[in-house]
Every structure is written in C-alpha cells, then in structure tokens.
Amino acid sequence: MRPTVSVIIAAYNAQNTIAIAIESALVQERCKVEVIVVDDCSTDETFAIASSYVNKDESVKVLRTPQNAGPSMARNIAIKAACGEWLAVLDADDYFAPDRLAALLTVAAREGSDMVVDSYEICHTQGQSSGISRFTNLCAPNGVLPIKAADFIKLGLGSTKPVFKRSLLCDTTLLFNETVNSGEDLLLYAQILLRNPTCQFSNQPKYFRTEHSESLSRRDRVAFLQELIGIFELLKVNVLCAAHPDNDILNAITFRKKVNEDALVAARWRLFLANRKLPDFCTVVSLHKLIRHIWCKKMRFAYSERC
C-alpha cells in the first residue's frame, strides 16, 4: 500500500537524537507513513541506530550520501526515493507530536491545499519543550490562514517545516539547493510558492524544533545571517526573471532582507562585545540598524513596514 506521507530525515552525527525523531514519525496517527533516513557520512553511530529500525519496520529506509555534503544533498536523495503523495521534512534532532501529520492533512483536505505550513514549539533539548512557540500569533489557535509567496517571505516562515505534495517538486523539477549551507529550507519552499500552489497556515504547534548552542544559526550567527541575506538575493533574481514580476513579493523580499541585515549588525556587535574588541568602521556606520533591530524585534513575525 502506497504511503500517504514520506517523512524525510537528513542526519549527521545524530546518534543521541535520531531514534526519537524516527519513532515520532512511525507513531503518527491515522496516517500511513514511510520514513526515509539519509545519513550524511556520520562518524558516530547514527547510521547503525537508524539501520536497526529497518528490520523492525518495513516502512523505514536508510540510505547514505556518497560523501559528507550537508542536509540538502541528503534530503534530495530521500526525495528521489520517496513514494508518498506528501512530503514532510523532519530534522534529526526534532520530533513530531503523534497527531501532527493527520492534523495537517485534515486541513489540506478541507481547504483543498497543496501545502500546509504550521506553527511550532521550541525545545532546548530534544523532548523537553521550552514553552516557547513560533508563529502562534498569526491567527487563532487551531485556525487557518491562506498563505502566498509574499506572506511566507514577509512573515519569516522559512524556519517552518511545511507538509507539501510531492508532485509540487515533480512538476517543477525543484530540489534543495546543494550549494547552500543555511536557508536552504526558506529557498526551496519560497520557490515552490512562487508557482502559486494553494497553501494554508495552520496554527497547531505540533512540530517540536530543537534550538541549541551547537546549531549553525547560533554557533556562527554572523555567517548564518550573511548566507540568509544571500538567499533573499537569489529569490529576488527568481522573481525578476518572471514575465511579470510580482511587486508584493519583491517588497516582501526587501522587508525580510532588511530585518536580517539589522540582525546581522546586532550579531556583529555581540561578537565585538564578547571579544572585547572595538567594532570596525562599517559596523559603527550601521549603528542605526542595531537600534532599529532592537526597536522592531517584537514585530519580526508580523506584517509591518514601520521598521
């Protein structure tokens, strides 16, 4: 029987978390899943732990990348091996609530959607919720909100993990960009939405995202934000290459890029202060961006042009 959802897990040195991620996908209620784990040439026991599930459950597949190349290549290998009607990306240190996929597919069926984006909860360590959630202010609890490409970009929804029809990739030949180390999710999902599929935001935080000091976005915040700003430039080129460029999308890109430029200035100031060094000239000149970043921090996930 064909799976309804292919859950894709790219893993690298995730021996301490991969089991919880896999099990959270396998126990999904009212939904037939296949779980495809692609190990990115881990140097620990990640591959062995993931492989142990193959003999326990026929819905689990475990593959490996030919060389360590980052999550984009691993996810692309999984996508090419997927059989489900829907795709759901799960990071190796995150996990699903047992009814997450069923809840999102219910929204998709009711609204006739090709893609569903949801809010999520943040964990400091896997399995321990911090009580902090993201994007739960966009609409009422359990409510839905139509989402277009401009909304996705402007609201900063690139950190979400949408569930979407596999045909959206087959029809457009899109995949994760393997030359990008940060923001690859944002880039792919925004590129999909540029094709105008039907998409809904569902305010049900049933994805649990682990944010810790060793993640790239925190370990080297400056490099992460620099690459993220580059993603917005790539998206701008995509939009401008269209026969009729959408001004709403271009404005959304400009707005979100400005938010990240301000965050980059703040990250550089924190780095200078931590190292007790004087900031360089460019950073001093950008002091107004630091002030704007602090002043507008609470409006990052809301529609606002005031910043």
User: For residue 129, which phi and psi values (nearest 5 degrees)?
Assistant: -70, 140
Q: What is the model's pLDDT at position 305?
A: 36
pLDDT of residue 195: 93
Alpha carbons 89 and 207: distance in angstroms, whole number: 11
**Mean of pLDDT over the chain:** 89
Q: What is the mean pLDDT of residues 166-186?
A: 90
Q: Tell me the per-residue pLDDT of 55-83, one tens digit each, with 9 for 90 and over.
A: 999 999 999 999 999 999 999 999 999 99
pLDDT exceeds 50 at position 252: yes
CA dihedral 61, 103, 183, 172 (to 10 degrees): 70
When pLDDT is cut at 50, 70 and 90, the band that residue 108 belongs to is very high
The architecture in CATH of the region 5-212 reads: Alpha-Beta Complex (3.90)
Angle at 306 between CA 301 and CA 307, to 5 degrees: 70
Burial class of 239 by CB neighbour count within 10 A (0 to 12, 13 to 18, 19+): buried
Amino acid at 285: V
Give the model confidence (pLDDT) of 39-57 as tens digits. 999 999 999 999 999 999 9
307 pLDDT above the threshold of 60: no
Share of the chain above pLDDT 70, in %: 86
Q: For residue 304, is pLDDT > 60? A: no
Output the pLDDT for position 301: 41
pLDDT band of residue 293 (cuts 50, 70, 90) is: low
Residue 281 pLDDT greater than 60, yes or no: no
Q: 271 pLDDT exceeds 90?
A: no
What percent of the chain has pLDDT above 90? 73
- pLDDT tens digits, 27-38: 999 999 999 999
The tokens of 292 are what? 């704007």
- Tokens coding 112: 């006739």
pLDDT tens track for 194-215? 999 999 999 999 999 998 655 5
